[in-house]
Amino acid sequence: MWTKRRVVQDLLQGRALQTARPDAEAFAPTNIALIKYWGKRDGVLNLPVTSSVSIALPSRGAWTRIRELPGCAQDEITLNGSPVEATASFAQRLSAHLDLFRPNKHTGYGVSTTINIPVAAGVASSACGFAALTFALDRLYGWGCSKSELSILARLGSGSACRSLWNGWVEWQCGDQADGRDSFAVPLAVRPWPELRIGLLLLNTGEKSLGSREAMQRTVETSPLFSDWPQQVERDLPQLKHALATQDFTLLGTVAEANADAMHACMRSARPAIEYSGASTQAAQATVRRLRQAGVPVFYTQDAGPNLKLLFLAEHAAEVQEAFASLDIVHPFKQEEFA
Ligand code: PMV
């Protein structure tokens, strides 16, 4: 039976230095999955049932600074400049991840994170948060981990975090080993797509009611549709890769939207049903479909929250922005936007 601690010890064997640098900092971009990760084959190590593919948002993510606090039993965590109570779920998840690396129980960490996307609203704040934290730990202790190793370590904090160590298109290869050694992300070797735009449509930025961990578990255990999900991904993944290789936007959007809809259908058929869409989500989805009927190629994807991410090309940005006044448009391949 593999525990997170055993995976960490194995991976960092002979590498974890006792003396930390005074402090270290790292940035990780957030990522939006177009082929979703939904369902774990191992809930402890966050090993997925299927592979998934995402695009990074290079200008949106987490900047994390970390230092050791010797003789301090508790971590001191600040988020966007404000201290976070140790009892808050954000602090508890971070401290649980830090426990895997703590030299002893008398050492706390000072962690200061700035995240420029809403936290815990299904906009992938945990992905960039855990990736930046893991990356910063690597720098603090001078482990010299490769990106694939960091991807494995970040996955232990949050599955989707393993995709947040690169810009551009990334595939998380699900792997099949019990210790998850072969379950990490890799950048996809496809040419950049400078015309691609991602629109963040924030419809409700309050904390989500049900975390992705519980929602995934309930879906796997109770949804009669979930048995088809791996086949759905097996069909969608090669199509999406083909769309990326040929820069076929309609195919990309069609596959991504259908994949997100299928994930939510699985959740809706869970017992009790899981519904992340509010009235504003459904209205926005209808507007996207209406725009398409009117000849504007725009598609949506949706994660474990009510907000949508829209996919479109630069030439249609004005029409999409007109339909969604509050849309925050990100250029995933614009070098100047890379943090
Ligand atoms: O990494 P988690 O446990 O927050 O799960 C993320 C799941 C989705 O965002 C819904 C899909 C994905 O692949 O990012």
Spatial contact of 132 and 91, defined as CB atoms under 8 Å apart: no
- How high is the pLDDT of residue 17? 62
Atom in ligand 1 nearest the alpha carbon of residue 303: 10
* Largest pairwise CA distance in the chain: 64
Instruction: Tell me the C-alpha distance between 138 and 213, whole Å.
Output: 26
Q: Candidates 160, 210, 281: which one to mutate for ligand 1, based on the most atoms within 8 Å of Cβ?
A: 160
Burial of 106 (0-12, 13-18, 19+ CB in 10 A): exposed
Model confidence pLDDT, tens digit, residues 98-154: 999 999 999 999 999 999 887 655 556 789 999 999 999 999 999 999 999 999 999
Atom in ligand 1 nearest the alpha carbon of residue 161: 1
| Tokens standing for residue 25 | 């900092």
Model confidence pLDDT, tens digit, residues 196-216: 999 999 998 766 678 899 999
- How high is the pLDDT of residue 18? 60
Instruction: Tell me the C-alpha distance between 116 and 129, whole Å.
Output: 11
Q: Cα(38) to centroid of ligand 1, in Å?
A: 7
Ligand 1 close to Cβ of residue 309 (< 6 A): no
Amino acid type, 234? E
Q: Cα(263) to centroid of ligand 1, in Å?
A: 11
- Chain centroid to Cα 189, Å, comes to 20
| Tokens standing for residue 125 | 């704040």
The HSE-up count of residue 88 (CA atoms within 13 Å, CB side) is 15
- How high is the pLDDT of residue 100? 97
- How high is the pLDDT of residue 336? 67
Amino acid type, 75? D
Paired with 24 in beta bridges are: 66
Atom in ligand 1 nearest the alpha carbon of residue 172: 13
Q: Strand runs (DSSP E) across 220-262, as ranges?
A: none
Q: What share of the chain is helix, strand, coil (3-state, %, to 5)?
A: 40, 25, 40
Phi, psi (5° rounding) for residue 131?
-70, -45
Q: Cα(69) to centroid of ligand 1, in Å?
A: 31
User: ω before 272 within 30° of 0 (cis)?
Assistant: yes
Q: In terms of residues, how long is the chain?
A: 339
Atom in ligand 1 nearest the alpha carbon of residue 124: 9
- How high is the pLDDT of residue 5? 96
Q: What is the pTM of this model?
A: 0.96
Q: Candidates 32, 34, 38: which one to mutate for ligand 1, based on the most atoms within 8 Å of Cβ?
A: 38
Ligand 1 close to Cβ of residue 232 (< 6 A): no
Q: Strand runs (DSSP E) across the chain, as ranges?
A: 24-35, 40-42, 47-48, 52-70, 76-79, 82-84, 107-115, 169-173, 184-187, 196-201, 299-302, 308-313, 328-330
Task: Kindly compute the dihedral angle of the four CA atoms of residues 75, 46, 256, 267, in this order, to the nearest 10 degrees.
Answer: -100
Residue nearest to atom 6 of ligand 1 (CA): 160
Ligand 1 close to Cβ of residue 33 (< 6 A): yes
Dihedral sign for Cα 35, 38, 39, 42, please.
positive
Atom in ligand 1 nearest the alpha carbon of residue 52: 13
Residue nearest to atom 10 of ligand 1 (CA): 303
Instruction: Tell me the C-alpha distance between 32 and 198, whole Å.
Output: 9
Tens digit of pLDDT per residue, the chain (339 long)?
899 999 999 999 978 666 678 999 999 999 999 999 999 999 999 999 999 999 999 999 999 999 999 999 899 999 999 999 999 888 999 999 999 999 999 999 999 999 988 765 555 678 999 999 999 999 999 999 999 999 999 999 999 999 999 999 999 999 999 999 999 999 999 999 999 999 999 998 766 678 899 999 999 999 999 999 999 999 999 999 999 999 999 999 999 999 999 999 999 999 999 999 999 999 999 999 999 999 999 999 999 999 999 999 999 999 999 999 999 999 999 876 666
- How high is the pLDDT of residue 284? 98
Contacts of 95 (CB under 8 A, 6+ apart): 75, 77, 86
Nearest 5°: CA angle at 107, between 105 and 109?
A: 125
Beta carbons within 10 angstroms of residue 35's beta carbon: 25
Going by their DSSP bridges, the two strands 107-115 and 76-79 should be labelled as parallel
Ligand 1 close to Cβ of residue 158 (< 6 A): yes
Q: Cα(18) to centroid of ligand 1, in Å?
A: 34
